[in-house]
Amino acid sequence: MELEDFINKFAECFNQTGTELFKPDTEFRKLDEWGSMMALIVIAMIDADFGKTVTSEDLKNAGTIAALFEIVKNK
Amino acid sequence: MPNIKVKGISAAVPEPVEDNNDFPLLTETERALFIKTVGIRYRRMAPTGLTASDLCLAAAEKLIADLNWAAEDIKVLVFVTQTPDYIIPNTASVLQQKLRLSKNCIAFDVNLGCSGYVYGLSIAGGLLQNMPGAKALLLVGDISTSTISMKDKSTAPLFSDAGSATALEHTAGAQIHFNLQTDGKEYDDIIIPGGGYRNQLNEKLLQYVEYEKGISRNGLHMKLDGIKIFNFGLREVVPNIEELLTEKGINKDGIDYFVFHQANLLMLESIRKKLKAAPEKVPYSLYDYGNTSSATIPVTLVTKLNHQLQAGRVKLLLSGFGVGLSWGSAYIETENIVCPKMIVI
């Protein structure tokens, strides 16, 4: 699992946020489009594409996309 | 489970319809994303005074008439609900007298929600095991809209009201297979914390608390941890179904339809893909009827598979999962069953 692949998959979950905004240090919970629905969509993506379960605590603890990637990778 | 056959299924909903496109606690963009992702647009909302038992009664009366069953032949009545008419007595007794069933009919309630239809089939079928020739009614329904706060965007756009009736008969040679499970460690992932005997009714319970913007409820309202339940569904449903199929030697490709508890389209599509089931084998009713708790499976059967169920042989895999946490699957083969159109009252 590579960070670049993770960021691309993460970005594909969003409809209205420009792809240029998805970087390793992006604080995803501060994106305008982020909300409870997006959380479920991201969780479903990580389950389907990476076979890992992400909790609401994981999403809260991960400040950035790179931090979330590390959490997922270490599960 | 041997010698049990499903003879008919009916369902009833209240007439008033709520449209999630009008839901005031979500922005227009959020509403569109909600409807696309969760899959629920319309919800049925029972007016004050109309209960789950009323909806089930209407479904049962129609089913009994269409089957031409004699009331005295019905020996079992199981009512699965989390919204009974009263705390005491059990609502099954109320239904037994309204349906004019005999005194020799076993009647009781079961407190289960999302898994309740599958559990109910197992309970009613189990009771019929020792009653050759006997008939059973499984009545399953809820008015969950009565349990949610309209100021809570995490629950209000999900829930809807419905009742159902399923007719079962002791028939030699017929089979239904089950795999039922429970995990009480997460009992409070979906909970109405107050109003029972652990947290008895008091004035404090009636006070609204704002947990975050758009999420306000009091102690008598349902609380639902959406992410925990979502992960529970992703984690447990597929292994439960695959265990059933493996243990009973059932060919997954031979199943005509997989009918899931209608909780959340995103979750159900994830489950469908994990099972490698073709989209045309997985009907959804949640766009039009929402999450009707224990009734989602019969509501889907009645509204989406009505013709197929009446016209011939159908192999069904049913799966319910949620509150408890409780989940289970059932494999059923039906043949030309009675399945009237959705009743609206």
- pLDDT tens digits, B167-226: 999 988 889 999 999 999 999 999 999 999 999 999 999 999 999 999 999 999 999 999
User: Would you say residue B343 lies in a domain?
Assistant: yes
CATH for A54: 1.10.1200.10
Q: Which pLDDT does position B39 carry in this prediction?
A: 98
Collapse the DSSP code of B338 into the 3-class scheme (helix H, G, I; strand E, B; otherwise coil) and give the result: strand
- Residue B308 in contact with residue B259, Cβ under 8 Å? no
Mean pLDDT of B119-128: 96
Q: Per the CB < 8 Å rule, is A37 touching B30?
A: yes
Q: Which pLDDT does position B165 carry in this prediction?
A: 98
Q: Per the CB < 8 Å rule, is B227 touching A16?
A: no
Residue B179 pairs in a beta bridge with B329
The C-alpha atoms of residue B301 and residue B282 are separated, in whole angstroms, by 11
Residue B152 pairs in a beta bridge with B215
**A44 in contact with chain B, both atoms CB, cutoff 8 A:** yes
**CB < 8 Å to A52, chain B:** none
Cβ-based neighbour number of residue B152 at 10 Å: 23
The C-alpha atoms of residue B65 and residue B44 are separated, in whole angstroms, by 25
Amino acid at the residue A49: D
- Residue B220 in contact with residue B192, Cβ under 8 Å? yes
Q: Give the closest residue to B76 by CA, choosing from B115, B132, B119, B134.
A: B134
**A19 in contact with chain B, both atoms CB, cutoff 8 A:** no
Residue B182 pairs in a beta bridge with B326
CATH for B110: 3.40.47.10
Across the interface, of B30, B226, B235, the residue whose CB is closest to A40 is: B226
**A36 in contact with chain B, both atoms CB, cutoff 8 A:** yes
User: Would you say residue B201 lies in a domain?
Assistant: no
B336: left (phi over 0), alpha (psi -120 to 50) or beta: left
Tens digits of residue pLDDT in A5-41: 999 999 999 988 999 999 999 999 999 999 999 999 9
Residue A26, domain extent: 3-14+22-73
Q: Per the CB < 8 Å rule, is A55 touching B231?
A: yes
- Residue B337 in contact with residue B67, Cβ under 8 Å? no
How many folded domains does chain B comprise?
Answer: 1
User: Would you say residue B243 lies in a domain?
Assistant: yes
Q: Give the closest residue to B75 by CA, choosing from B8, B11, B170.
A: B170
The C-alpha atoms of residue B295 and residue B304 are separated, in whole angstroms, by 14
Collapse the DSSP code of A31 into the 3-class scheme (helix H, G, I; strand E, B; otherwise coil) and give the result: coil
Tokens of A72: 């997922």
How many folded domains does chain A comprise?
Answer: 1
Tens digits of residue pLDDT in B151-172: 999 999 999 999 999 999 998 8
pLDDT band per the 50, 70, 90 thresholds, residue B132: confident
Q: Per the CB < 8 Å rule, is B154 touching A36?
A: yes
**A60 in contact with chain B, both atoms CB, cutoff 8 A:** no
- Residue B332 in contact with residue B259, Cβ under 8 Å? no
User: Would you say residue B200 lies in a domain?
Assistant: no
- Residue B141 in contact with residue B163, Cβ under 8 Å? yes
- Residue of chain B minimizing CA distance to A41: B266
What ipTM was estimated for this complex?
A: 0.91
Residues in chain B: 345
Q: Which pLDDT does position B329 carry in this prediction?
A: 98
pLDDT band per the 50, 70, 90 thresholds, residue A64: very high
Q: Which pLDDT does position B337 carry in this prediction?
A: 97
Residue A1: pLDDT over 80: no
Shortest Cα distance from B164 to chain A (angstroms)?
30
Distances (CA, A) of B139 to B58, B280, B343: 10, 28, 15
Q: Which pLDDT does position A17 carry in this prediction?
A: 92
Tens digits of residue pLDDT in B22-76: 999 999 999 999 999 999 999 999 999 999 999 999 999 999 999 999 999 999 9
Tokens of B254: 């031979």
**B315 in contact with chain A, both atoms CB, cutoff 8 A:** no
Distances (CA, A) of B127 to B75, B106, B188, B295, B344: 9, 9, 30, 21, 31
User: Would you say residue B298 lies in a domain?
Assistant: yes
Q: Which pLDDT does position B338 carry in this prediction?
A: 98
Q: Per the CB < 8 Å rule, is B226 touching A41?
A: no
Q: Which pLDDT does position A75 carry in this prediction?
A: 87
Tens digits of residue pLDDT in B228-283: 999 999 999 999 999 999 999 999 999 999 999 999 999 999 999 999 999 999 99
Mean pLDDT of B112-124: 98
Q: Per the CB < 8 Å rule, is B38 touching A36?
A: no
**A31 in contact with chain B, both atoms CB, cutoff 8 A:** no
Mean pLDDT of B146-152: 97
Q: Per the CB < 8 Å rule, is B266 touching A36?
A: no
**CB < 8 Å to A44, chain B:** 230, 234, 266-267, 270
Tens digits of residue pLDDT in B298-318: 999 999 999 999 999 999 999
- CA-angle at B221, arms to B219 and B226, nearest 5°: 115
Collapse the DSSP code of B106 into the 3-class scheme (helix H, G, I; strand E, B; otherwise coil) and give the result: strand
B267 CB-contact burial (10 Å; exposed 0-12 / middle 13-18 / buried 19+)? buried
**For residue B318, what is the enclosing H or E element?**
strand B313-322
**A24 in contact with chain B, both atoms CB, cutoff 8 A:** no
Amino acid at the residue B111: N
Residue B108 pairs in a beta bridge with B78
Q: Which pLDDT does position B171 carry in this prediction?
A: 87
Beta strands in B98-233, from DSSP E residues, in sequence order = 106-110, 135-143, 161-182, 190-191, 209-212, 215-217, 223-224
Q: Which pLDDT does position B173 carry in this prediction?
A: 83
Tokens of B337: 């069953």
Across the interface, of A36, A48, A54, the residue whose CB is closest to B226 is: A36
The C-alpha atoms of residue B293 and residue B322 are separated, in whole angstroms, by 9
Computed over its alpha carbons, how large is the radius of gyration of chain A? 11
B280 CB-contact burial (10 Å; exposed 0-12 / middle 13-18 / buried 19+)? exposed
Q: Which pLDDT does position B3 carry in this prediction?
A: 86
Question: How many contacts does A have with B, using Cβ atoms within 8 A?
Answer: 45
